[in-house]
């Protein structure tokens, strides 16, 4: 008669499987849920720290193989789920149910910052995360056009209800001010506008709030950092040699404001702009280089028409490149949350 498979045996096998991003085993990370042993049949769920885990299929395969090697096991069924870990500093500062805040910045305008912020937010949502997009580019609020939404948000109990488009929640000053009206606002007015986006907006529970910052290093990034702890910042740049100076300004702002730098993305790579400036900047500034997106009219056309490319052409090389970037960003956020939990436990 075969020996009965025990829970201890299964967990011991799963301790040999490491999350490829967090570099710790699945058991110590408390990622194993709903473990069931029914004779020779074993089933369990791996609860990922983000639905955008870039190597989730590999993780599932490794866990399945490890348990299948336990004596007496004939069948292993593995399900994948996800629960994004929250940035505790955010929860201590604001009441809005937001787990992580990702700021997207650039040293100057015209580098495709908003276009990438939109597509990165959509990519996270397409993987299954609950995502919001805040257009904090007060002087040039382009998110409404790029998301194909122009009507104002509804009001409920004196709170603004974010507009939903393509599965994500949106808020922009562009929904509240006529598109042909110039905003000539100084610091206090900018501060109040950004503060209202947190205080007076009825955000639903979000795994990630992507914030599209204005270009440069003005009042809005400072206000954002004062109001809420930003989980991480991404800098968008173009490939030219002058990209180094622009990227340095964006990165310097994050460092000054104590915002963790997730890395640099090189946008509009190739053709007339050349290539490599973003990567050289990242190397010189000693921050991660997240990747590059080529110059392609389809990305621009998607933004102009309110039909982002990750939605309209999800299997295109461009869309897959952007989705890979979003998964790298999500993995970086997960690593930070795991390190926080480890430091707290210690």
Token couple for 61: 């395969």
Token couple for 108: 């100057």
Instruction: Give the chain's radius of gyration (CA, Å).
Output: 22
Q: What is the pLDDT along the chain (346 residues), one digit of tens a residue?
A: 457 899 999 999 999 999 988 889 999 999 999 999 999 999 999 999 999 988 899 999 999 999 999 999 999 999 999 999 999 999 888 889 999 999 998 877 778 899 999 999 999 999 999 999 999 887 778 999 999 998 888 999 888 899 999 999 999 988 876 555 544 444 445 557 778 888 889 999 999 999 998 876 666 666 777 778 899 999 998 888 776 677 777 788 888 888 999 999 999 887 767 788 788 888 888 899 999 999 899 998 999 999 999 999 999 999 999 999 999 999 999 999 988 887 777 6
Q: Compute the distance between CA of residue 176 and CA of residue 199 in angstroms, rounded to an integer.
A: 16
Residues in Cβ contact with 29 at an 8 Å cutoff, skipping those fewer than 6 apart = 19, 22, 49, 338
Query: CA-based diameter of the chain, in Å?
Result: 82
Residue in 257, 251, 247 with CA at minimum distance from that of residue 224: 257
- Write down the pLDDT at residue 5: 93
H/E stretch holding 303 reads: helix 297-305
Domains of the chain, first to last = 7-82 (3.30.300.130), 88-345 (3.40.50.300)
What are 26-37's pLDDT values in tens digits? Answer: 999 999 999 999
- Write down the pLDDT at residue 138: 75
Token couple for 25: 């085993």
* DSSP code string of 26-68: TTTTT-EEEEEEETTEEEEEEEES-TT-TTHHHHHHHHHHHHH
Handedness of CA 64, 66, 68, 72 (dihedral sign): negative
Residues in the chain: 346
Inter-residue contact 23 to 55 (CB < 8 Å): no
Pairing of strands 163-165, 261-269: unpaired
Q: Compute the distance between CA of residue 272 and CA of residue 29 in angstroms, rounded to an integer.
A: 47
DSSP state of 225: H
pTM of the model: 0.91
């Amino acid at each position: 008669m075969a020996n009965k498979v025990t829970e201890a045996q299964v967990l011991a096998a799963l301790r040999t499987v490491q999350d490829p991003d967090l570099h710790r085993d699945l058991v110590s990370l408390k990622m194993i849920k709903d473990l069931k042993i029914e004779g020779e049949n074993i089933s369990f769920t791996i609860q990922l720290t983000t639905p955008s885990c870039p190597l989730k299929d590999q993780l599932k395969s490794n866990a399945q193989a490890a348990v299948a090697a336990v004596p007496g096991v004939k069948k292993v069924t593995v399900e994948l789920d996800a629960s994004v870990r929250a940035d505790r500093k955010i929860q201590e500062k604001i009441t809005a149910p937001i787990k992580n805040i990702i700021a997207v910045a650039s040293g100057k305008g015209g580098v495709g910052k908003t276009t990438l912020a939109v597509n990165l937010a959509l990519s996270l949502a397409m993987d299954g995360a609950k995502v919001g997009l805040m257009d904090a580019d007060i002087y040039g609020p382009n998110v409404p056009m790029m998301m194909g939404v122009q009507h104002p948000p509804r009001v409920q109990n004196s709170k603004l209800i974010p507009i939903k488009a393509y599965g994500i929640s949106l808020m922009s000053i562009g929904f509240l001010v006529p598109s042909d009206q110039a905003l000539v606002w100084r610091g206090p007015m900018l501060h109040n506008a950004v503060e209202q986006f947190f205080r007076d907006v009825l955000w639903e529970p979000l795994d990630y709030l992507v914030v599209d910052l204005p270009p440069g290093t003005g009042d809005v990034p400072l206000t954002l950092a004062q109001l809420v702890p930003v989980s991480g910042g991404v800098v968008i740049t173009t490939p030219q040699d002058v990209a180094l100076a622009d990227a340095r300004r964006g990165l310097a702002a994050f460092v000054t404001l104590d915002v963790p730098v997730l890395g640099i993305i090189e946008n509009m790579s190739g053709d007339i702009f050349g290539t490599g400036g973003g990567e050289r900047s990242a190397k010189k500034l000693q921050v991660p280089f997240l990747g590059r997106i080529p110059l392609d009219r389809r990305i621009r056309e998607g933004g102009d028409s309110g039909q982002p490319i990750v939605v309209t052409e999800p299997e295109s090389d461009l869309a897959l490149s952007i989705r890979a970037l979003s998964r790298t960003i999500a993995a970086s956020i997960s690593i930070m949350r795991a390190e926080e939990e480890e430091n707290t436990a210690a």
